[in-house]
Structure 1
Amino acid sequence: MLSVAIGNYPHTRLLKERLASSPHFNFVEVSPITKAFAQMVRQGTYDISEMALVTFLQAKAYGKPLVLIPAAVAARSQEISLIKLRSNTHIKGPADLKGKRIGVRAYSQTTGAWLRGILSENFGVTPQSVHWTTFEDPHVAEYSDPPFATRAKPGSALLDMLRAGELDAVIVGNDKPTDPDLADVYPDAEEAGREFASKHGFVPVNHVIVAKQTVVDAQRDALMRFWDAVRAAWKDTPSAKALPIGRKAIEPSVALALKYISEQSMLPRPLTEADVWAGLPDRF
């Protein structure tokens, strides 16, 4: 029986319901699901797991025996995650972030990597031109934050530091706060997201699915059953129909994320697209 750690979203709940009676899969509840990412990378705790895209790319570069299963679990515009205090008139847009202090949960967080790439590409705000503050270790233990990132004091909180004026802006995750004192750094973050999608042809992927190489090698039939169930569940969930599934569909997002984190010196060695997809059966 394969152990599977995947978060609870409409499409994954349908997947779990359909496979609940299967003798091949045991779904393990991990809350928040991000805890499973480090467990999977560091200890190989699960056979199949949801994982942040950047975590997987870093893990692959460090030689972890994982295979990318080409199904996006989560994808969204990244620009809406960059926020400031509404009263901060010194930041009128992303170009004003050069030289400023930005907080992010972890430097290797996928949303942060996407935004650093976008800020550098569109506004010339390079990672090195910002003072970064982080709060957690990366999922991949071998990776270390760059020298221009500082760890917040123990017990510090991202939004508390923003409100106290210790940070100029912060990058939040999927649960964006609705506090009226907070505002987007982008004058129109949703439009910026649409412009990214128009320019690049996709909405950035945040989370994917990975499997152990041993599962791909020794339990191919069970993995194929899982893959068929994933495709059906995504297809049958209205909110998931826009999520890329299949290698051809997800490749553009993976390729740009790889480009961005390579430019950000987040990998211990060059990683080619062939490296990224190594181990994946042809059927995918």
Structure 2
Amino acid sequence: MTDLALDLAVYRYEHTAALLDGSVDIAGVDATWHTAPVVTDLFQAMVQGSYDVAELGLTYSLRTWDTGESPFLALPIFPNRNFRHSAIFVNADSGITKPEDLAGKTIGEFALYGHDAGVWPKGILSDEYGVTPDQCRWVIGGTDHPIPSFDWIPQPVPDGVDVRHAAEGQTLAGLLESGEIDALISVDVPEALVSGASSSKIRRLFGDYESVERDYFRRTGIFPPMHLVAIRRELVGQPGLVEAVYAAFAKAKDLAAAQYLKGALKQQMASMMPWISQLFAENRRLMSDDWWPYGVAKNRVAIDTFLRYHHEQGLSRTRLTCEDLFVPELLTS
């Protein structure tokens, strides 16, 4: 029998590298793999019909549901996840010393009103600190490089929320440095903060963000997913296909995780990062050996939370469920 020819796309992470280099195959699939230097280029190509299966940001996937029946269903594969208290930056002269001080302020947000790394912190700010998006003013743009509006995806803005796009040539980091905005929520860390520029006025809202994020995980069990893997709806009926794609992604991820376990025997000598052995040991104690889980069961609380945030923030007309989002064949995964 001839294998099914499919175009698939994913960013090159350590846990997807085995797919892209051909070390892991998808049973029954003649796979042509694609990647890109910027992950949102993959999102745009998937939305515009270039791929059969591809990584897609959670909010990008959910926004397609408000244009009629979404052309996609999701596989419970989460190639990108990150804690996001560390994604909130403030101007040191803004008077913002605690989360509650964000109320009434002007805040920049990367790329979209409600990008994946923005939905999570805005939801957390609302749940835990009482700061809701309608209490702030929002400016959308690029962090260190100007970017145009993403006109290839719906960009809903709820009533009562003040949102505008940065002017041509402006960057959010520049606006934050100058004090034209008070804070920034962004997947990208401003270059001035990474470089350690002594003159920069940019700092994180949560200075000891690691401790805050570890406490968040202890309390909630949530390691926030940012992206999932989407499949074109018309392919879901292909016998065994979604199970085979899921199995291949899981195998590639497990191979990458196994390298950390193997590396622990040799003090992680393949890495240039000092004290990574101690970090790995701390993470295993907190998060177990399955610290990057796929499947619905281990991610249901996190996904349900994101779906609630997306609806509460006016980005989804209806509050979707895991049963709406994921392919039926993998709901018990």
How do 1:31-46 residues align onto structure 2 when only pairs under 5 Å count? 31-41=37-47, 43-46=48-51
Match of residue 237 from structure 1: 256
Does structure 2 conserve the Cα–Cα contact (< 8 Å) formed by 1:68 and 1:277?
A: yes
Q: 1:211 is aligned with what amino acid?
A: I
Aligned equivalents of 1:141, 1:274: Cα separation in 2: 23
What is the rounded CA distance, in whole Å, between the counterparts of 1:228 and 1:174 in structure 2?
Answer: 31
1:91 matched to 2:96: yes
The answer for the alignment partner of 1:208 in structure 2 is 228
For residues 110 and 104 of structure 1, the distance between their equivalents in structure 2, rounded to whole angstroms, comes to 11
Deviations, residues 228-262 of structure 1 (Å, cap 9, x unaligned): 21111111212695212011122211100001111
Q: Secondary structure at the match of 1:11?
A: coil
> Cα deviation per residue 1:24-70 (whole Å; 9 max; x = unaligned)?
111112231112213322x2221111111122122234321211110
2:220 maps to 1:195: no
- The amino acid of 2:178's aligned partner reads A
SS of equivalent to 2:77: strand
Q: Counterpart of 1:186?
A: 206
Q: How does 1:1-284 map to 2 (within 5 A)?
A: 1-17=5-21, 18-19=23-24, 24-41=30-47, 43-62=48-67, 63-85=69-91, 87-88=92-93, 90-105=95-110, 106-135=112-141, 136-138=148-150, 141-146=153-158, 147-174=161-188, 177=191, 178-180=194-196, 181=200, 182-218=202-238, 220-238=239-257, 241-277=290-326, 279-281=328-330, 284=333
Whether contact under 8 Å (2:10, 2:35) holds in the other structure is yes
Asked if 1 retains the 8 angstrom alpha-carbon contact of 2:106 and 2:182, the reply is yes
Point out where structure 2 has 5 or more consecutive residues left out of the alignment.
142-147, 261-288
Pairwise CA distance, 1:101: 1.0
Deviation at 1:144, TM superposition (A): 2.5
Cα–Cα, structure 1 residues 243 and 138, in superposed 2: closer, same or farther, change >3 Å?
farther
User: Could you state the TM-score of these two structures normalised by the residue count of structure 1?
Assistant: 0.90
Contact 1:6–1:28 (Cα < 8 Å) also in 2: yes
Measured in 1, the distance between the counterparts of 2:129 and 2:86 equals: 16
Distance 1:118 1:57, change over 3 A: same
Alignment RMSD (CA, Å): 2.4
Deviation at 1:222, TM superposition (A): 4.2
Give the Cα–Cα distance (whole angstroms) in 1 for the partners of residues 190 and 14 of structure 2: 19
Would the aligned equivalents of 1:104 and 1:134 in 2 still touch at CA under 8 Å?
A: yes
Q: Secondary structure of the equivalent of 1:72?
A: coil
- Shift in Å, 1:281: 4.6
Contact persistence 1:133–1:152 (CA under 8 A): yes
Alpha-carbon distance in structure 2 between the residues aligned to 1:81 and 1:47: 31
Q: Is the 8 A contact 2:296 2:330 kept in 1?
A: no
Q: Secondary structure at the match of 2:55?
A: strand
Q: Which moved more, 1:95-104 or 1:181-190?
A: 181-190
Any conservation in 1 of the 2:113–2:140 contact (CA below 8 Å)? yes
Q: Is the 8 A contact 2:242 2:329 kept in 1?
A: no
Structure 1 pair 8–89 and aligned structure 2 pair: CA distance change class (3 A): same
Q: TM-score if structure 2 supplies the norm length?
A: 0.77
Gaps of 5+ in 1: none
Taking a change above 3 Å as real, the CA distance of residues 256 and 155 of structure 1, as seen in their structure-2 partners, is: same
Per the alignment, in what secondary structure is the counterpart of residue 75 of structure 1?
A: coil
**CA 1:138/1:249 → structure 2, altered by over 3 Å: closer, same or farther?**
farther
Give 1:278 deviation, angstroms: 5.1
8 Å contact from structure 2 (residues 123, 309) kept in 1 = yes
User: Using the alignment, how far apart are the partners of 1:21 and 1:122 within structure 2?
Assistant: 42
Q: Partners in 2 of 1:282 and 1:186 — Cα distance? A: 36
Identity of aligned residues (%): 24
Higher relative contact order (CA 8 A, sep 6+): 1
| Contact 1:61 1:271 (8 Å CA) reproduced | no
CA contact (8 A) 2:176 2:184 kept: yes
The count of aligned residue pairs is 281
Q: Tell whether the 8 Å contact from 1:38 to 1:139 is kept in structure 2 after alignment.
A: no
